[in-house]
Amino acid sequence: MDLAGKVALVTGGAHRVGRHIAQALGREGCDLVVHYHQSRAEAEATVEDLVRAGTRAVAVQADLRDPGGVTHLFQEVDRLRGRLDVLVNSAAILSPVDLLSATFADWASTMDLNLRATFFCVQAAARRMQDRGGAIVNISDVAGQRPWRRYPIHSISKAGVDMLTRTAALALAPKIRVNGIAPGPVEKPARMAEDRWAEIGRALPLQRSGSGGDVAAAVVFLLQTDSVYGETLAVDGGDLIR
């Protein structure tokens, strides 16, 4: 796919990895819709940076845990841009919880955003792409392939995203390509100490952590490479092969 002039929606595009993805797509010539939930200031700053760099970009607020939020987001894409060529599902939550003490609320908080919203965003995007064609990239996590003890619901949700990627790729081919990316340590959590983050990086085969830019470059690769279907690409510094 030639990305120049394509309309791209990035969920969770206001900050962190999503921001890197939006910026990379902007550099490739995409027209950006940057979704956010609560990070209004960050979304506005991201859009300002994109516009300053010569990219057409707008921000749209929606709570994707609410089915009405998904409907609202795609109605805004229709209203503001009139079509959709690219979807990158980056919105997610990462919350630690003990498996034995996890509640229904804990389950819903993570699954409603990480998996259910991702599914219905894929569905809504595909309905808009089925005549013209398009491409979708789901941002998963290495935790979906190797579980994290402190994040059982998150791990389950991301394993579901990996299967969604394969299932949707099969169902929507050949007009719509669906792939995924499973990042490893690429963005330091805000509350993590620098020395702990450095320790995590040194333990990787790469011997350092990656960056949101690495994930963004992988997104561009998957969008531009028309023969790749249903793959989830690990961008993890070798984390999964340790």
Q: Indicate whether 168 pLDDT > 90.
A: yes
Contacts of 15 (CB under 8 A, 6+ apart): 39, 42, 43, 46
The pLDDT confidence band at residue 111, using thresholds 50, 70 and 90, is: very high
Q: d(Cα 14, Cα 38) in Å, to the nearest integer? A: 9
Mean pLDDT of the chain: 96
User: Of the candidates 58, 45, 53, which has an alpha carbon nearest to the alpha carbon of residue 26?
Assistant: 53
Class of domain 7-241 as given by CATH: alpha beta
Q: Indicate whether 148 pLDDT > 90.
A: yes
Report the percent of the chain where pLDDT is more than 90: 97
Q: Indicate whether 201 pLDDT > 90.
A: yes
Question: What is the arithmetic mean of pLDDT over 45-73?
Answer: 97
- Supply the DSSP string of 82-138, one letter for each residue: S---EEEE---------TTT--HHHHHHHHIIIIIIHHHHHHHHHHHHTTT-EEEEE
CB atoms under 10 Å from CB of 217, counted, come to: 15
Q: Indicate whether 242 pLDDT > 90.
A: no
User: Of the candidates 39, 15, 10, 42, which has an alpha carbon nearest to the alpha carbon of residue 26?
Assistant: 10
The pLDDT assigned to 172 comes to 98
The pLDDT assigned to 191 comes to 81
The pLDDT assigned to 188 comes to 87
Q: Which residues are catalytic?
A: 151, 158
The pLDDT confidence band at residue 77, using thresholds 50, 70 and 90, is: very high
The pLDDT assigned to 189 comes to 83
Q: Tens of pLDDT along 27-57?
A: 999 999 999 999 999 999 999 999 999 999 9
Q: Indicate whether 226 pLDDT > 90.
A: yes
Q: Indicate whether 233 pLDDT > 90.
A: yes
